[in-house]
């Protein structure tokens, strides 16, 4: 089964890391409810970083951990949350997925009742 990789703000989210996590979990839940097979690295990695004592902002740690999932994704869904355009490191800029994003990407905004993808 193929899936979409969900890119979203995290490190620069104005309400903080915990609220970024909660917000992206809500969006990811709506995508899943709409029938979209998705993987959100924030929904996956934030609780792991908190409970395992791993620096949640370490791109040196998290990018290699997420790389196989980025490579396997059929495309990228970018969630237009606050600061989404300011992401310092994002899947759209840092991985092979970026090369495919021009033909297999979609965007969703916070608050849509049924995200399209």
Q: What domains can you pick out in the chain, each with its CATH number?
A: 9-86+96-109 (3.40.50.10400)
Region 1-26: what's the mean pLDDT? Answer: 90
Q: How confident is the model at residue 77 (pLDDT cuts 50, 70, 90)?
A: confident
CA–CA distance, 65 with 61 (Å, rounded to integer): 7
Angle ∠(112,79,114) on CA atoms, nearest 5: 25
CA–CA distance, 39 with 69 (Å, rounded to integer): 8
The number of residues in the chain equals 117
Q: Across all residues in the chain, what is the average pLDDT?
A: 79
User: CB-hemisphere CA count at 13 Å for 103?
Assistant: 4
The pairing of strands 38-39 and 75-80 is: unpaired
pLDDT score for 25: 95
Listed in sequence order, the residues at least 6 apart from 3 whose beta carbon sits closer than 8 Å to its beta carbon are: 37, 38, 39, 72, 73, 74
């Amino acid at each position: 089964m193929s899936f979409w990789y969900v890119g979203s703000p995290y490190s620069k989210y104005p309400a903080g890391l915990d609220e970024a996590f909660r917000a992206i979990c809500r969006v990811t839940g709506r995508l899943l409810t709409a029938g979209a097979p998705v993987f959100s690295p924030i929904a996956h990695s934030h609780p792991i970083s908190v409970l395992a004592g791993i620096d949640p902002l370490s791109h040196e740690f998290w990018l290699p951990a997420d790389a196989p999932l980025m490579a396997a994704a059929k495309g990228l869904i970018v969630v237009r949350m606050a600061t989404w355009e300011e992401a310092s490191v994002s899947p759209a800029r840092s991985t092979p997925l970026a090369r495919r994003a021009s033909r297999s990407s979609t965007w969703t905004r916070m608050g849509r009742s049924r995200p399209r993808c």
